[in-house]
Chains A and B, each alone.
Chain A
């Protein structure tokens, strides 16, 4: 049964050392607060899955929590490279990590296969692409009807998925709006899902019937964390903090500056600090 929990407990109950975990969010609704809580609790040997790792995986990799990362774009979107991830891949600092790299189409199809309970995804992809030669999990199958050779990748089945969403109702149903990315598939593909939300409302009675709602029984725990996706954004609540993404490029460029920043803004901080961080980004409605 779903539980409403403080974030600290929701993370402690659902994430364990050695887990395969997805913190999903496609630029929008990135579950930063949940990732920071995981960093504070100091998990080790995680396999981190995400289409667009960006800042939170840069942080987790930089703190030495990851043994492997599965991704399709390891960049700071619109800014450049992820410097902590680069340091790990290029120099093995602070530890060497294993890399499994896909295209967006490959990851999106693999999550969908996970949600659909299939062992693998089949799609038209990776043709002529170098990734097929360096990633043994990219294979091919032949269509039994047409003979067309198609790409196949194993389904993604995380132990636990974390997402951020706009709101839950009191029963624990969750509404996701705007750029919904891969979140629904990532939740349904996982054994357990934890959702942080901006707020809880009485009910969803007035919602349009076709909106993306995750029923309460697909989720293990909900934590209310206003501002919980900063510096990403929550459509309808606050804007993306683009300046923070630009600033991250400088912070992550230096090992010591990174550690100092993490100590102050993550280790000595808490989920309650997120609301203040988005105050100036809330739209004057």
Chain B
């Protein structure tokens, strides 16, 4: 992965930028904290200026100058079109079918896009108690589509997740339909090495594009299941200067603001 570094960008930067490209100006995106939040705001600051970003704290159509540390930082509310109560957020806007993209991160992911952010080990006697689902269980089933972004590792991308926090495609195939879930579920996975899409029939995530300088072997070495590659494998276009500058400026502003060493535009 040092290859990508030599190219003038890091694997994580490539991941965030590739994820940002998947979003469109007419999307209404429910934003998970962390990697999804960076990608969504890079999209808004580059090719998708009219995208509606929604955070679960109730802020609708928000346009923060720095990335929020939490899903409820004040700037989200100050720059939002409107701020609604949390029950309204989940009842009217998410359950009501208004969200086109639910954008989630994952601690553990399997090849069918099922996500675990609850426990490592047994639920009743966990080895590691993670924060849990928050809004994700219903974001995963009520958003029309789900995009997932995470850095690859054997610990993170596993054959079998320890807990089904958010349902993806279950055991694959038509498992969602059989549970009465009528939304598309995970349709895109963007990692630091590749872009993945579910097989149309089995729903197993398949690599469709490798990021510049990344080999098939690297993808397999950092993934806990046997990776399937599309027959026609693309190469992800490298970040443009504008994309990189936008992301780096955003991260620099964010770092300064959260350390309390600068106040961004409020100064």
Q: Which residues of A contact B (CB under 8 A)?
A: 26-28, 51-52, 71-75, 77-82, 85-86, 89-90, 101, 103-105, 108-109, 111-112, 123-131, 134, 148-149, 178-182, 184-185, 212, 233, 235, 239-243, 245-246, 283-284
Chain A residues with Cβ below 8 Å from B11 are: none
Contact partner, A105, options B95, B129, B163, B266, Cβ 8 Å: B95
- Are A125 and B137 in touch, CB under 8 angstroms? yes
Chain A residues with Cβ below 8 Å from B72 are: 26-28, 77, 179, 181
Question: Taking the nearest CB of chain A, how far is it from the CB of B59, in angstroms?
Answer: 7
- Are B77 and A123 in touch, CB under 8 angstroms? no
Interface residues in B150-167 (C-beta closer than 8 Å to A): 163-167
Cβ of B242 within 8 Å of any chain A Cβ, yes or no, is no
Contact partner, B137, options A52, A75, A131, A246, Cβ 8 Å: A131
Chain A CB within 10 Å, residue with most, of B77, B87, B138, B165: B87
Q: How does the 8 Å CB contact mask read for B17-42 relative to A, with 1 for contact and 0 for none? A: 00000000000000001100000000
Question: Taking the nearest CB of chain A, how far is it from the CB of B126, in angstroms?
Answer: 6
Taken together as a complex, chains A and B put the C-alpha atoms of A24 and B156 apart, in Å, by 32
Chain A residues with Cβ below 8 Å from B137 are: 103, 105, 125-126, 129, 131
Chain B residues with Cβ below 8 Å from A28 are: 57, 72, 74, 77
Question: Taking the nearest CB of chain A, how far is it from the CB of B142, in angstroms?
Answer: 7
**Chain A contact residues, majority secondary structure:** loop
Chain B residues with Cβ below 8 Å from A149 are: 180
- Are A130 and B34 in touch, CB under 8 angstroms? no
Nearest B-chain residue to A182, judged by Cβ: B86
- Are B180 and A185 in touch, CB under 8 angstroms? no
Contact partner, A182, options B87, B134, B136, Cβ 8 Å: B87
Contact partner, A103, options B74, B126, B138, Cβ 8 Å: B138
Q: Which 8 A-B pairs have the closest CB atoms?
A: A27-B72, A75-B131, A128-B167, A77-B70, A73-B134, A130-B164, A78-B69, A108-B87
Chain B CB within 10 Å, residue with most, of A179, A184, A235: A179
Taken together as a complex, chains A and B put the C-alpha atoms of A24 and B137 apart, in Å, by 21
Nearest A-chain residue to B88, judged by Cβ: A108
- Are B134 and A103 in touch, CB under 8 angstroms? yes
Chain B residues with Cβ below 8 Å from A103 are: 133-138
Taken together as a complex, chains A and B put the C-alpha atoms of A104 and B71 apart, in Å, by 13
Chain A residues with Cβ below 8 Å from B33 are: 77-78
- A/B pair count, beta carbons within 8 Å: 190
Cβ of B179 within 8 Å of any chain A Cβ, yes or no, is yes
Taken together as a complex, chains A and B put the C-alpha atoms of A184 and B132 apart, in Å, by 24
Question: Taking the nearest CB of chain B, how far is it from the CB of A276, in angstroms?
Answer: 16
Chain B residues with Cβ below 8 Å from A128 are: 141, 164, 167, 170, 175-176, 179, 181
Taken together as a complex, chains A and B put the C-alpha atoms of A72 and B138 apart, in Å, by 12
Not counting A75-B134, A101-B132, A179-B77, a sample of 18 additional A-B residue pairs whose C-beta atoms are within 8 angstroms of each other reads: A26-B72, A78-B69, A86-B129, A90-B128, A90-B129, A103-B136, A104-B56, A105-B138, A127-B167, A127-B180, A127-B181, A128-B176, A129-B164, A180-B85, A182-B85, A235-B77, A242-B70, A245-B69
Question: Taking the nearest CB of chain A, how far is it from the CB of B76, in angstroms?
Answer: 7
Contact partner, A130, options B118, B124, B134, B257, Cβ 8 Å: B118
Offer 28 A-B interface pairs, CB within 8 angstroms, sorted by A: A26-B57, A26-B72, A27-B71, A28-B74, A72-B133, A77-B33, A77-B70, A82-B131, A86-B129, A105-B90, A105-B91, A105-B137, A108-B86, A108-B87, A108-B90, A124-B142, A127-B180, A128-B167, A128-B176, A130-B164, A179-B77, A180-B86, A181-B57, A235-B74, A235-B77, A240-B73, A240-B74, A246-B259
- Are A123 and B91 in touch, CB under 8 angstroms? yes
Chain B residues with Cβ below 8 Å from A85 are: 129
Chain B residues with Cβ below 8 Å from A182 are: 85-87
- Are A185 and B90 in touch, CB under 8 angstroms? no
- Are B83 and A178 in touch, CB under 8 angstroms? yes
Question: Taking the nearest CB of chain B, how far is it from the CB of A238, in angstroms?
Answer: 9
Taken together as a complex, chains A and B put the C-alpha atoms of A80 and B83 apart, in Å, by 25
Chain B residues with Cβ below 8 Å from A284 are: 266
Nearest B-chain residue to A27, judged by Cβ: B72
Cβ of B260 within 8 Å of any chain A Cβ, yes or no, is yes
Q: How does the 8 Å CB contact mask read for B35-78 relative to A, with 1 for contact and 0 for none? A: 00000000000000000000011110000000011111110111
